[in-house]
Amino acid sequence: MDLLILSDSEENRRSLFRLRFPLEEQPSLVTELEDYKVIEFAENSARLVANGTSICSDKWTPAVIKLKTGAEICTNVKLSRIEDDNLIVSLEKHITQKDIMSEQRRLLAKYGKPGLLDH
C-alpha cells in the first residue's frame, strides 16, 4: 500500500482551500439562536453573512451546516473575526475534505468552472 505524503506547500494549499458558494447555493449555518448564510467554507473555518448579529468569541457554540443537498454537518463554532459584513468562524469539528470535494463537484456539474470575474 502506498502512502500519500504531502509536501509543506501542498499541505499549505490544502489548508487554505476554500469553497465559495453561488448566492442561490449558499448553505445555512444554524445555531440555537440564529441562522446564517454560508458564503464559503474550508476544512476548519467558514465565512458567514453577519445578519446584524454575532457569535460568541470566547466559547464554542453548537451548530449545524445544512447543505442544499440536504446533507448536514454537525460542528461547534467560535467567532474568529469580523470582516465588513461577514463573520469568520472557526469550526471545532472540521469539514472533511471528502465533503468539500463532493460539494465542489456538484457545483461544477451544475454551474461549470467559474470565470475570472466571478470572484
Cell numbers standing for residue 65: 451546516
Side-chain half-sphere exposure of 99, counting CA atoms within 13 A: 19
- Establish if 86 belongs to a structural domain: yes
- Establish if 115 belongs to a structural domain: no
- Establish if 4 belongs to a structural domain: no
pLDDT at 114: 67
- Establish if 8 belongs to a structural domain: no
> Which CATH number goes with the domain that contains 69?
2.40.10.220
- Establish if 5 belongs to a structural domain: no
- Establish if 116 belongs to a structural domain: no
Could you tell me the mean pLDDT of each successive run of 10 residues in the chain, 119 residues long?
Answer: 46 66 96 94 96 85 96 96 94 94 94 63
CA distance 13 to 41: 14
pLDDT at 37: 97
Residue 64 is classified by DSSP as E
Domains in the chain: how many in total? 1
- Establish if 3 belongs to a structural domain: no
- Establish if 10 belongs to a structural domain: no
**Residue 67's domain spans which residues?**
17-110
